[in-house]
Structure 1
Amino acid sequence: MNRTASDRGRDRDEEGRARSARPRDGLGRPLPYGAEGVPRQPEGVVRGPDETLREAQRLLDAGMPFHAHEVFEDAWKSGPESERDLWQGLAQLAVGLTHAARGNAAGGARLLRRGAERLAGGPGSVSAAAAYGIDAAGLVAWARELAGRAEGAPTGAAGEPAVVDAATEAPRLRGDLS
């Protein structure tokens, strides 16, 4: 008999797509069923650029860069193609911070650098960043500096990976602190 994923007890969303119903912590890591987690970001929310930046900054400041990544992901999926590099670059910065905060220094550094390159490289991301008041140059510098620190961080006494505090390291998306 050929069993489907739903026959095996796989969690599904309202539209039938596979989606884990396990609660998550503030860095997006799955917790055991029944544990208390943080509320998930709803997916597929269409926001304007200002609302996207405000919500992502709120999440970054709260030490929840994984959730901020999901806000940026919605923006790149629903926004104009010409701004895709901007929103993808910002999402990569948020995921890079997530990995660094989880103790994955190499993965965090790689994503931070990839996001910085995307923000610095494409004319679409540079012009869109300027139009929305995003401090692209400051974010690029922040990402490269954090990537270098994450890679150079020593492991703890018991060999556990060094981690960064996501809330303390949260970047400012705009120079006006909004």
Structure 2
Amino acid sequence: MSGASAGRADVGGRDRDEEGRARNARPRDGLGRPLPYGEHGVERQPEGVVRRPEESVAEAQELLDAGKPFHAHEVFEDAWKSGPEAERGLWRGLAQLAVGLTHSARGNVTGGVRLLRRGAGAVEEWASSGARPRPYGMDLAGVVAWARELAAEVERDASAVDAKARAPRLSGRTGGG
């Protein structure tokens, strides 16, 4: 089911999905910011999708490369919630990194820096716990270095970054400058 599939409103006018859960049906931009009703937005990622880990990495990378870190976060969140317990710290950390990039691109310096550093710490902690250093082809040391470098840049410059230009490469080189 997709967050974009909010199909009805209740008596109070709140957007609801098919199961009656509150869901904001407003369209959103590529960074997940709500747009006015009636405007064309970016299609939302479906929620609760169970993917193979390699599919999660590939789909998240495509979204990051397209400048949609908010949507990549949704993919990582699905992996975190549906994956094995032993990998939850990894996927949660990656989701935090994607949200950190989202906030940094939105100009939220404090939130961006905090989440980039928190995510880097979580990924690093997971990798140092005896887990594989390159799970599913990901270069975790490179991703952690990217996040820390970006956090320092965002903190120093106190301005929004271009999410597409600063997207990490999960499987190799880090994003551009």
Among candidates 130, 133, 148, match of residue 134 of structure 2 = 130
Fraction of identical pairs, as percent: 69
Task: Give the corresponding residue for 2:108.
Answer: 104
- C-alpha distance in structure 1 between counterparts of 2:34 and 2:133, whole Å: 33
Does residue 165 of structure 2 align to residue 168 of structure 1? yes
Structure 1 residues 106 and 176, CA, compared in 2 at 3 Å: closer, same or farther? closer
Amino acid across the alignment from 1:52: S
- C-alpha distance in structure 2 between counterparts of 1:123 and 1:136, whole Å: 7
Instruction: Report the alpha carbon displacement of residue 127 of structure 1 after superposing the two structures with TM.
Output: 1.8
Give the TM-score normalised by the residue count of structure 2: 0.89
Task: Give the corresponding residue for 2:120.
Answer: 116
1:109·1:151 contact (CA, 8 Å) conserved in 2?
Answer: yes
- C-alpha distance in structure 2 between counterparts of 1:106 and 1:176, whole Å: 26
Structure 1 residues 126 and 67, CA, compared in 2 at 3 Å: closer, same or farther? farther
Instruction: Report the alpha carbon displacement of residue 126 of structure 1 after superposing the two structures with TM.
Output: 6.1
Structure 2 residues without counterparts, runs of 5 or longer: 1-8
2:15·2:23 contact (CA, 8 Å) conserved in 1?
Answer: yes
Instruction: Report the alpha carbon displacement of residue 112 of structure 1 after superposing the two structures with TM.
Output: 0.2
Among candidates 141, 144, 168, match of residue 140 of structure 1 = 144
The DSSP-based 3-state class of the residue aligned with 2:88 is helix
Give the TM-score normalised by the residue count of structure 1: 0.88
Kindly provide the CA deviation profile for residues 107-165 of structure 1, in whole angstroms up to 9, marking residues without a partner as x.
100000000000111358762552312111001111011001101114xxxxxxx2100
Note the aligned Cα RMSD (angstroms). Answer: 1.8
